[in-house]
Structure 1
Amino acid sequence: MAVPDHSIDPRIFESARKEFLANGFERASLKAICEGAGVTTGALYKRYKGKEDLFCAVVDQTVKDLYEVAHSRGDRDPAAMSDAELIKGWDMDGPDMMWWMRFLYDRHDDFVLLLSRSDGTRYANFQHDWVAVLTNATSAFLAEAQRRGICRTDVGPEELHILLSAFWTTIYEPFIHGFDWEQIEQHCRIVCKLFNWHKALEFHVEK
C-alpha cells in the first residue's frame, strides 16, 4: 500500500491561508491555492473534499487551542473555590488579559480567518459561537458568587452573554483592523480600564 505523501501539506496550508485571508472563503480560488502551493487540483482533492474542508483544516489547530483553554478554565469547580478566587476571576488588572492577547496574536492569521473570512463555512458564526462557549464556561462561576452573596444577583446567563459579546467585540476588532502587536498591547491596557467587572457586577472587593 502506498504511503500518502504529506510533504506538500505545509505548502497547501500556506497558500490556502494566504488566499483565504486575501479574498475570504467564498471568493477564494482553489486553482489559485493549488498554483501557489505548486500542486495539482487532483493532489488537493486527494486530501480535502473541497474548499470548506480545506478552510477548516487550516484553522483546525487554532480552534482546538481556543476550546482547550476555554474548557480548562471552565472545568474548574466554582464551589471548591474561595471567595477571593471567585472575585479574582473577574479581575482586569492582572496579566490575564495580556496573556489572552498574546495567545490570540500568536495565532493571528487563523484567528482573523475565523473572525472575518469564514462566511460560507461552518465557522460563519464564530464570533457569536465563541462568546456562547465562554458564557457557558463563565455562568457557573457567576452563579456561585451570586449564591454566596458576594456580587449582584440580577445578572443571568442571557445578560452575561450580552456583556461578554460587548467585551469580546473589543478584542476581535484590533485583529480585524490589522493592529500590530504594539498597538494590541496598548489596546489591551485600554480595554482593561474600560471593562471593570468588579464594579459592573458589584463584587464585594476588599480595599
Structure 2
Amino acid sequence: MANRDHSLDDGIIQAAYSEFLAYGFQKASLHKIAEKAGVTTGAIYTRYKNKDALFASLLQDFLETMQVLFAPIAEEYEKAKCSAQPDGILRAINAEEQVYFQLLTEHCNDCTLFFCRSDGSSMETVLHKLMDQKAEQTVEFFSHIYGKAPNADAIRLLMGSQFWYFRQLLDQHMEEGRMLTCLQAVLDFTNAGWRQLCDTLQ
C-alpha cells in the first residue's frame, strides 16, 4: 500500500468543517467536501470510514475540552451536597453556567457543530446521552440533599429546555455580546425555577 499523503489532511478537515457547519451532518456532501479540499472522494475514504466518522473526528478535541472544563464543577456540586443549602446549590449551578459562557465565547463553532448540526450522526447520540446523564445526576443530587426525589420527568424537561435554549442561541448567529446577554437573561429565569424547586423540596 502506498504511503498516505498527509499534506491533504488539513485541507480535508477544513473543508469538512466548513461544509458541516453550513449544512449540518445530514445535508453535507462528501463530494462537495472533496471539491473544496481539492481531492477525490476516494482520498476521504482512505482516511475516514464514512461521513459519520469524518464528522465525529471534527469534534473529538471539543469533547475532550468539555470534559476538562466541566471536571471542576463536580467539586462544586459536592460542596453543595455537604451544605445542603439552596445558595450552595445555586452556586454550583452558576459555576456550571459559566462553563457554557466560556464554550460560547471560545468554542462557538464547535458548539454549533455539536449542539445544532449533529442531527442524524453518532454525535447526536452522544449529545442525548449527555443530556440523559445530566438529568439523572440532577435527580440524584436533589434526592441526596432533601431525602426525596423531585419529579424526574419534570427535571428531564427542564434540562432539555436548557439545551434547547443553548441551541437556539447558536442557530440565530447572534453577535457575541448580544448572545451572552440573552443567555444570562435565560439563566436568570431558570435559576429562579431551581430556587423554587429547592423551596418545594425542603
TM bucket, shorter chain? 0.7 to 0.9
Distance 2:139 2:149 in 1: 13
Whether 2:197 is the aligned partner of 1:200: answer yes
User: Displacement of 1:109 after TM fit?
Assistant: 1.8
Amino acid at match of 1:122: S
1:100-123 CA-partner distances (Å, limit 9, x unpaired):
222244222222222232233123
1:117-154 CA-partner distances (Å, limit 9, x unpaired):
2233123356543321211333332122112xxxxx45
Amino acid at match of 1:178: H
Amino acid at match of 2:197: A
What residue in structure 1 maps to residue 182 of structure 2? 187
2:169 to 156, 171, 174: 174
Q: Is the Cα–Cα contact under 8 Å of residues 78 and 140 in structure 1 kept in the other structure?
A: no
Q: Is the Cα–Cα contact under 8 Å of residues 86 and 198 in structure 2 kept in the other structure?
A: no
Percent identical among aligned pairs is 24
Higher relative contact order, structure no. (Cα contacts within 8 Å, ≥ 6 residues apart): 1
Superposed counterparts of 1:46-195, under 5 Å: 46-70=46-70, 73-74=73-74, 78=78, 81-83=81-83, 87-91=87-91, 94=94, 96-125=96-125, 128-147=128-147, 153=148, 155-195=150-190
Tell me how many residue pairs correspond in the alignment. Answer: 200
Q: Which has the higher helix share?
A: 2
In the alignment, structure 2 segments of 5+ residues that lack a partner are none
Distance 2:100 2:64 in 1: 15
User: Displacement of 1:81 after TM fit?
Assistant: 4.3
Q: Is the Cα–Cα contact under 8 Å of residues 139 and 152 in structure 2 kept in the other structure?
A: yes
Give TM-score scaled by structure 2 length.
0.79
In the alignment, structure 1 segments of 5+ residues that lack a partner are 148-152
Distance 2:80 2:185 in 1: 32
Instruction: Choose 40-49 or 115-124, whichever is displaced more.
Output: 115-124
Distance 1:138 1:93 in 2: 10
Distance 1:140 1:36 in 2: 48
CA-based RMSD of the aligned residues comes to: 3.3
User: Displacement of 1:54 after TM fit?
Assistant: 0.6
Distance 1:85 1:69 in 2: 25
What residue in structure 2 maps to residue 13 of structure 1? 13
Q: Is the Cα–Cα contact under 8 Å of residues 98 and 188 in structure 1 kept in the other structure?
A: no
Distance 1:203 1:7 in 2: 60
Distance 2:79 2:177 in 1: 39
Instruction: Choose 112-121 or 63-72, whichever is displaced more.
Output: 63-72
Over 3 Å counting, the alpha-carbon distance change for 1:202 and 1:12 in structure 2 is: same
Instruction: Choose 23-32 or 70-79, whichever is displaced more.
Output: 70-79
1:52-74 CA-partner distances (Å, limit 9, x unpaired):
11111112222333345556645
Q: Is the Cα–Cα contact under 8 Å of residues 135 and 160 in structure 1 kept in the other structure?
A: yes
Over 3 Å counting, the alpha-carbon distance change for 1:136 and 1:74 in structure 2 is: farther
